[in-house]
Amino acid sequence: MELGIRELVSGLGIAISVGASLSIVKTKLQAVIESLQDIESRLRVIDQRVDQTEITSQRVDVLSAMMSPAEKEKSTREIERVKANLDHALAEITHLKKIHNGSHIATRSLD
């Protein structure tokens, strides 16, 4: 089988077309890759902002739970209970100081 001028020109035209197409695809692919890298970097920034927002939201939830009226009431009751116990303990100490006469019975040494 012999190749004539027509076939060679036709084959050369196809090769040039394929080469040009590959060049165009490579250029477009590079542009798409750059675009994807830009989108990825933007998504990372957005993700960091969302994480910070979630952390802030969790902190606000904790603080609001701590400052809720029910918690404040519970805390106030606990403080009042501690104060009442302290007052009672101080009264007992004062009473014990008053009834103590200051003298001690002699004891023998353990030595």
The token pair at 14 is 């196809």
Q: Do residues 92 and 73 both lie within one domain? A: yes
Instruction: Give per-residue pLDDT as tens, 47-68.
Output: 999 999 999 999 999 988 888 8
Look at residue 108 and tell me if it is in a domain.
no
Instruction: Give per-residue pLDDT as tens, 85-97.
Output: 999 999 999 888 8
Cα distance between residue 5 and residue 106, in whole Å: 136
Look at residue 82 and tell me if it is in a domain.
yes
Residue 102: phi, psi to the nearest 5?
90, -10
The residue type of 28 is: K
Amino acid 91: pLDDT = 95
Share in percent of the chain as helix, strand, coil (round to 5): 85, 0, 15
Q: Are 65 and 71 in contact (CB under 8 A)?
A: yes
Look at residue 110 and tell me if it is in a domain.
no
Least confident of 27-31, 64-68, 101-105: 101-105
Residue 63 DSSP code: H
Q: Do residues 14 and 2 both lie within one domain? A: yes
Domain limits at 34?
Answer: 1-67
Q: Do residues 76 and 46 both lie within one domain? A: no
Q: Kindly report the pTM of this predicted structure.
A: 0.47
Number of structural domains (the chain) is 2
Q: Do residues 2 and 50 both lie within one domain? A: yes
Q: Do residues 59 and 89 both lie within one domain? A: no
